[in-house]
Structure 1
Amino acid sequence: MVAQVRRHPLAAQTSELLLGRIQRGEWALGHRLPGETTLAAQLGVGRSTLREAIRELAGKGVLDSRQGAGVYVIALDVAEEWDAVLRRATIASVIEARIAIEAEAAALAAQRRTPADLRAIRRTLAAREAHGEPVDAHVDADMAFHRAVIVAAHNDVLTQLFDSFLPRLRIAMIDMLRLQPVADATDHDAHIRLADAIAHRNPSGAAESSRAHLTELKAAFS
C-alpha cells in the first residue's frame, strides 16, 4: 500500500515523500515519474499540490520537468544540502585560520597601537555598526575593522597574511551570513570589547576577546 500525505503543509510533505521514494530507488536516475493524475492519486493530494512539490524538487536539482515529455529524475539527493555541508566545512576552516592570525594580532595591537591606530579602529567600528545591510556591505565594513586591528599590531607579515587571505575570507563570510545570520547586537558587542581591550592596552584581554568572538562564530555555524 502506497503511503499518503495526511498533514499540512501538503506541498512540503509531498516534496519530502517524493524525495524519499527517489532515494529508496523507486525511480532510478533518468527515470520518468508517473503521470500527474496517477501520482497525485497515489499520494492523496491535489494536482496543484503535486505541481508545487515538483517545482520545489526541480529547484533543488532533483527533478526536471520537460514540456510535453513529463518529469524526470536527474539527481538522487538534494544538491543544495551537500553544498551547504561543504560550504560550512570551508567556512569553519577559514574561521580557524582567522583565530590563528587575529588573536595574536589583537594582543600585539594592544601593546603597539598608536593614537592614529586607535582612531582607525574606532572609526571602522562605528562604520561596521552602521552597515547592517546588505550582507556584502556589512562584511566589507567588518573586514575593514579587523584589518585596522591587524595594522595596529605593526607586523608587516601579519598584515600581508591577512591581505592575501582577504578575498577568500570575504566570500566565506558573505556565504556564512547568507546561510545563517548572526545576532547583530551580540556580535557587535564582541567587537566593542575587542576595541576597548586594545584601547586599554590589555594584550591578554584583546587576544581573548578576538579568540572568543571567532570561536563563538564558528560554533554558531557548525
Structure 2
Amino acid sequence: MTMVRRESLADQAAELLLARIRDGEWEVGGKLPGETTLASQLGVGRSTAREAIRILAGRGILATRQGAGVFLITADASEGWATALQRADIVAVIEARTAIEVEAAALAAERHTSEELEALENALNERGRHRAEISEHVETDMAFHRGIVIAAHSPVLLELFDGFASRSRQAMTDMLRLRGRHGGDDDHGTHEQIYLAIASRDIEAAARLTRAHLHALQEQLS
C-alpha cells in the first residue's frame, strides 16, 4: 500500500485518497471507512485524515452525514465549478475583513499604548518565524491582525473580529492552498510596513496599507 510521506500535508493525503476513489475502491453512494481506519491506511494522523475528507467534500466528491459517516458522491466532480465557488466565498471573507481591519488599523495608529505596540511587534516577529507551514502561518498572521484590533480600543470591532475568526481562518487556509504559495518576503514586508505606520501614529498610512494588502489578496483570486 502506498503511504503518504511523513512530511505531507492534508492536501497530499486528499490527493492520495482521491486516487483510490478513482481506482474504484468504493462505489458511488458507498460509505468510506472511518477516520481512524483511513488515517492508518494513508499513514497520517486522524486530524490530517479529517482535513483530507473536508477538502474532498468541498470539491463535491465526498459528503459527511451526521451520525452516519462519509459517503462517496462522485469520482468525477468538476473541480472548476467547486474551485469557482470556493474562490467566491474567500472573496466575501476578504471583503468582510476589509470592513473590520482597515478601520481597526487607523484607530490602532491613533490609540495604541506602548504595551500594545510591543505586543504587536512580538506578534509580527512570531509571524516572521512561522512562514513555512500553512496552519502555523495562518495562526500567527491572525494573531498579528488581532493585535491591531486590540490596539484600536474598539470593543465592537474586537467582537466582530473574534466572532469572524473561525471563518476567516478557514478562508485564508483555503486561499493559500489555491494560490500554492505563502509566507513570501514581500507579503511579510507589507505587514512590517503596516506595523511601522501604526507605530509612527500615521493614521492614513495604516488604513491605506491595510486596505491595499487585503485588496491585493482579493486580486490574486481573480
Q: TM-score, normalised by structure 2?
A: 0.66
Matched letter for residue 103 of structure 1: V
Cα deviation, 1:10-57, whole Å, max 9, x if unaligned, reads: xxxxxxxxxxxxxxxxxxxxxxxxxxxxxxxxxxxxxxxxxxxxx99x
**1:90 corresponds to:** 89
Cα deviation, 1:186-214, whole Å, max 9, x if unaligned, reads: 11111011000000000000000100000
**2:186 corresponds to:** 186
SS in 1 for 2:153: coil
**2:10 corresponds to:** none
**2:206 corresponds to:** 206
Where do residues 37-186 of structure 1 align in structure 2 (5 Å cutoff)? 59=19, 65=24, 78-180=77-179, 181-182=181-182, 184-186=184-186
The alpha carbon displacement at 1:82 in A equals 1.7
The alpha carbon displacement at 1:76 in A equals 9.8
CA distance in 1, matches of 2:147, 2:74: 46
Task: Report percent identity of matched pairs.
Answer: 45
SS in 1 for 2:119: helix
CA contact under 8 A between 1:60 and 1:80: conserved in structure 2? no
CA distance in 1, matches of 2:140, 2:156: 22
Matched letter for residue 213 of structure 1: H
Q: TM-score, normalised by structure 1?
A: 0.66
CA distance in 2, matches of 1:146, 1:208: 15
**1:48 corresponds to:** none
| C-alpha distance 200-66 of structure 1, shift in aligned 2 (>3 A) | closer
CA distance in 2, matches of 1:210, 1:175: 21
SS in 2 for 1:221: coil
Structure possessing the higher radius of gyration over alpha carbons: 1
Instruction: Tell me if 1:215 matches 2:210.
Output: no
Matched letter for residue 83 of structure 1: A
| C-alpha distance 60-86 of structure 1, shift in aligned 2 (>3 A) | farther
| C-alpha distance 194-108 of structure 1, shift in aligned 2 (>3 A) | same
| Unaligned runs of at least 5 residues, structure 1 | 1-54, 68-73
| Unaligned runs of at least 5 residues, structure 2 | 1-14, 27-72
Matched letter for residue 82 of structure 1: W
The alpha carbon displacement at 1:65 in A equals 3.5
CA contact under 8 A between 1:113 and 1:152: conserved in structure 2? yes
Q: CA RMSD in A?
A: 2.4
CA contact under 8 A between 2:134 and 2:182: conserved in structure 1? no
Matched letter for residue 113 of structure 2: T
The alpha carbon displacement at 1:66 in A equals 6.9
The alpha carbon displacement at 1:75 in A equals 5.8
The alpha carbon displacement at 1:84 in A equals 1.1
